[in-house]
Amino acid sequence: MSIPHKKVAILSPVAWRTPPRQYGAWETVASNITEGLVSRGWDVTLFASGDSVTRARLHAVVDHGYEEDRAIDPKVAEYLHISEVFEHAAEFDLIHSHYDFMALTYSRLVKTPVLTTIHGFSSPKILPVYRKYSDGYFVSISNSDRLPGLNYVATVYNGIDLSLYPFQERGGDDLIFLGRIHPDKGVHLAIEVARLSGRHLIIAGIIQDQAYFDEQVKPYLDGVNIRFIGPVDVAGKNQLFARAHALLHLNTIPERFGLVLAEANAAGVPVIAMDLGSCREVIQNGVTGFLAGNAGESARLLEQVPRIDRRACRRRVQECFSMGTMVRQYEQVYLKVLEMEAKKNA
């Protein structure tokens, strides 16, 4: 269904490089959409940091992600970056924004339609912006993470590049946690599960809340039973997946999507996730992992992990959360938006 004469601008965040070297879920998704569209013949320009890697045209006004270069002022970088795509809006048939609420404030200043993928509502304080621009075009990344009243075109699940996560026929005995070190992600609950089950736990991720790390994570790190190894790249994730009995994802707030759930399942690793938000959409309970209500239940469910078919985990990702599936669904969304715009302007 490629439409090479249609020009699309993908607005990626500039906190990290696109795709990110380690952490950066939004940049990962923006990259996967961009590369998938290019492979299917679309004319795509990626607005991202100057060190980004893409087969599309790269348009950059910020050399590096502000999280990777602390000499950069985040707000200056963000607004130079966001304004740039809208100053070039007339060159495109569609702008696909992955820049949260901020880019919406420019959307009525241009004639080019703007499609916003909402990667999560970080705070109730940002909702007035979404409500003001509720008549725009929106995509949710799960059915559970929607704001009533917005003009949703579709739900499109995030997709991963399966070639990056080779299937692991057999796992190991360790529990792993991959994600932000933040109360929302429930690292303290993963530690509790490890202690209840007597299994080793390896924690990997960026520290986003230092006080939380110091108070609820660091005291339990002994370098043997519970270890913290910091952020990891794709190769590092695969090393963890190869030794994993299960991935623990015990989020304390409703999950928006949970990219790491799909990554782990792609490698054949079963997931034990808290039954909040999108987890029941990504994890098929009893088939690709288990949904739990607390740490105690999670520890008990570890005994059932061996009955999970690791190949079924990967098959589900191939069917529902692959880059190809995501890109084909976005093609449908783009066509729908362009058709609605054509009728509006007829």
Are the C-beta atoms of 233 and 204 separated by less than 8 Å?
A: no
One-letter amino acid of 65: G
The C-alpha torsion from 268 through 331 and 258 to 98, rounded to 10°, is 140
Do the domains spanning 7-159+322-345 and 162-320 agree at the CATH topology level? yes
Tokens of 118: 């909402």
- Residue 283's contacts (CB-CB under 8 Å, 6 or more residues apart) are 261, 265, 271, 273, 289, 290, 291
| Average predicted confidence (pLDDT) for the chain | 96
Q: Average pLDDT, stretch 205-224? A: 97
Domain spans, the chain: 7-159+322-345, 162-320
Residue 122 binned pLDDT confidence (cut-offs 50, 70, 90)? confident
Q: What is the rounded distance in angstroms from the CA atom of residue 67 to the CA atom of residue 74?
A: 8
Read off the pLDDT of residues 317-338 as tens digits, 9 standing for 90 and up. Answer: 999 999 999 999 999 999 999 9
Q: Report the predicted TM-score, pTM, of the whole model to 2 decimal places.
A: 0.93
Output the pLDDT for position 64: 96
Measured in degrees and rounded to the nearest 5, phi and psi for residue 8 equal -120, 135
Are the C-beta atoms of 61 and 80 separated by less than 8 Å?
A: yes
- Residue 191's contacts (CB-CB under 8 Å, 6 or more residues apart) are 201, 203, 216, 217, 220, 226
Residue 3 has pLDDT above 70, yes or no: no
Alpha-helical regions (H) of 122-278: 127-132, 187-197, 210-212, 234-242, 259-266
| N-term to C-term CA, the chain | 24
Q: Which residues pair with 118 in a beta bridge?
A: 140
Q: What is the DSSP letter of 152?
A: E
Residue 163 binned pLDDT confidence (cut-offs 50, 70, 90)? very high
Q: Which CATH number, 3.40.47.10, 3.50.50.60, 3.40.50.2000, 3.30.420.10, labels domain 7-159+322-345?
A: 3.40.50.2000
DSSP letters, 177-217, are EES-BSGGGTHHHHHHHHHHHT--EEEES-BS-HHHIIIII
Sign of CA dihedral 7, 13, 17, 23: negative
Read off the pLDDT of residues 259-292 as tens digits, 9 standing for 90 and up. Answer: 999 999 999 999 999 999 999 999 999 999 999 9
Strands of 23-120 (E only): list them. Answer: 43-47, 57-59, 94-97, 114-118
Q: What is the largest CA-CA distance in the chain?
A: 67
Are the C-beta atoms of 6 and 94 separated by less than 8 Å?
A: yes
Residue 186 has pLDDT above 60, yes or no: yes
CATH class of 162-320: alpha beta
Q: What is the rounded distance in angstroms from the CA atom of residue 84 to the CA atom of residue 6?
A: 20
Output the pLDDT for position 4: 57
Tokens of 81: 């970056």
Read off the pLDDT of residues 11-62 as tens digits, 9 standing for 90 and up. Answer: 999 999 999 998 889 999 999 999 999 999 999 999 999 999 999 999 999 9
Q: What is the rounded distance in angstroms from the CA atom of residue 291 to the CA atom of residue 258?
A: 14
